[in-house]
Amino acid sequence: MKQSSILNKLSMLFALSLLLLGFYSCEDDNYALPEETLKGKIIDKDTGETLQTEIGGNGIRIRMMEYSWSDTPQPYDFYCMMDGTFNNTKIFKGTYGITPAGAFVPLQETEPIEIKGVKELNFEVEPFLRIQWIGEPVANSDGTISAKAVITRGTANSDYQKNLLDIYLFVNEIPYVGNMSFDNRYTPSMSFSGATGNVVLGQELPMTTKGTLTKNRTYYIRVGARIDQTIEGAKRFNYSTIKEVYVPE
């Protein structure tokens, strides 16, 4: 009985220690959650339209450097949506330098900006390429889609007028379409060596999907093109807007 009593007391002490540890842990973790917002747009300087991109690591990256506590902070990165907008609602209150990076002439980091509540910030950029549809895509009776586009330089800066590398007519069955998400069975592409591809710039460019699309189904298409220019380790695409095309029976 005496041994059992000692064990019971030890068990109670152990449980009490865990409870106290939990209280201390809660006290230590009682920091404000990130709840400030940074939103805005990446805008084509000449057209005033948002710059089309892809989601994920090869799209438009927003880098934030918080200078509230350090002159050499660790970067905090997030990415734009496909339409060139961004909206991050989980940011700590503080002072940041902000830099976007993508398929456009690089920008310098902003002057330190205070993020408190909702901060809206737009960036005007010069894209490497500008891609515009000519007319509307057409679903053909043979199970293909035909489209026309024109690709032009988006900047007069000769440092970023590198040779055209490749062009894709990306095809997918979901609205997330681009280099990050496409169906290779239907997506045609053109690759160029040296300056050979530059002759298509400014020209009407007809394109047709490859293979035979499943009929009675909706597809999403988008033209993407890139130059032989590396930005932060990747050759990034410029994009057209996304078109929705129904392929009938």
Q: In this structure, are 241 and 146 located in the same domain?
A: yes
Please state, in angstroms and rounded to a whole number, the distance separating the CA atoms of residues 97 and 114.
9
Q: What ranges in 29-160 are assigned the alpha helix state H? A: none
Q: In this structure, are 188 and 170 located in the same domain?
A: yes
pLDDT tier at 12, thresholds 50, 70, 90 = low
pLDDT of residue 9: 47
Q: In this structure, are 133 and 239 located in the same domain?
A: yes
Q: In this structure, are 74 and 157 located in the same domain?
A: no
Q: In this structure, are 183 and 224 located in the same domain?
A: yes
Q: In this structure, are 50 and 156 located in the same domain?
A: no
Q: Mean per-residue pLDDT for 224-243?
A: 97
Which token pair is 114?
A: 């205070």
CATH classification of the domain holding 104: 2.60.40.1120
Task: Answer whether residue 223 is part of any domain.
Answer: yes
The three-class DSSP label of residue 141 is coil
Task: Answer whether residue 151 is part of any domain.
Answer: yes
Which token pair is 42?
A: 């990446």
The three-class DSSP label of residue 86 is strand
pTM for the structure as a whole: 0.86
Task: Answer whether residue 1 is part of any domain.
Answer: no
Residue type at position 35: E
Q: Encode 68-80: b = buried (16+ Cβ within 10 Å), e = exposed.
A: eeeeeeeeeeebb
pLDDT of residue 115: 97
Of the three residues 125, 141, 156, the one that is the final residue of a domain is: 125
Q: Work out how many domains the chain is built from and give that number.
A: 2
Task: Answer whether residue 14 is part of any domain.
Answer: no
Q: Mean per-residue pLDDT for 195-210?
A: 97
Q: Mean per-residue pLDDT for 138-154?
A: 98
Of the three residues 89, 104, 125, the one that is the final residue of a domain is: 125
Task: Answer whether residue 21 is part of any domain.
Answer: no
The string of pLDDT tens digits covering residues 17-46 is 544 444 444 444 456 789 999 999 999 999
Closest by CA position to 104, among listed 49, 171, 148: 49
CB 190 within 8 A of CB 197: yes
User: Residue 196 sits in which domain range?
Assistant: 129-247
- Percent of the chain whose predicted confidence (pLDDT) is above 90: 85
CB 137 within 8 A of CB 213: no
Task: Answer whether residue 17 is part of any domain.
Answer: no
Of the three residues 58, 93, 125, the one that is the final residue of a domain is: 125
Q: Mean per-residue pLDDT for 98-106?
A: 98
- 42 beta partners: 123
Please state, in angstroms and rounded to a whole number, the distance separating the CA atoms of residues 216 and 248.
4
Q: In this structure, are 142 and 224 located in the same domain?
A: yes
Q: Mean per-residue pLDDT for 167-186?
A: 97
Q: In this structure, are 58 and 135 located in the same domain?
A: no
Please state, in angstroms and rounded to a whole number, the distance separating the CA atoms of residues 41 and 215.
37
**Exposed/middle/buried for residue 238 (C-beta within 10 Å: 0-12, 13-18, 19+):** buried
Closest by CA position to 49, among listed 157, 156, 131: 131
Please determine, for residue 237, whether its predicted confidence score (pLDDT) is greater than 50.
yes
Q: In this structure, are 71 and 160 located in the same domain?
A: no
Which token pair is 132?
A: 């515009």
Q: In this structure, are 141 and 100 located in the same domain?
A: no
Q: Mean per-residue pLDDT for 127-147?
A: 98
Task: Answer whether residue 150 is part of any domain.
Answer: yes
Q: In this structure, are 151 and 116 located in the same domain?
A: no
CATH classification of the domain holding 140: 2.60.40.2060
Task: Answer whether residue 232 is part of any domain.
Answer: yes
CB 95 within 8 A of CB 73: no
Question: If you search the block for the tokens 């890139």, which residue do you land on?
Answer: 226
pLDDT of residue 31: 62
Q: In this structure, are 140 and 170 located in the same domain?
A: yes
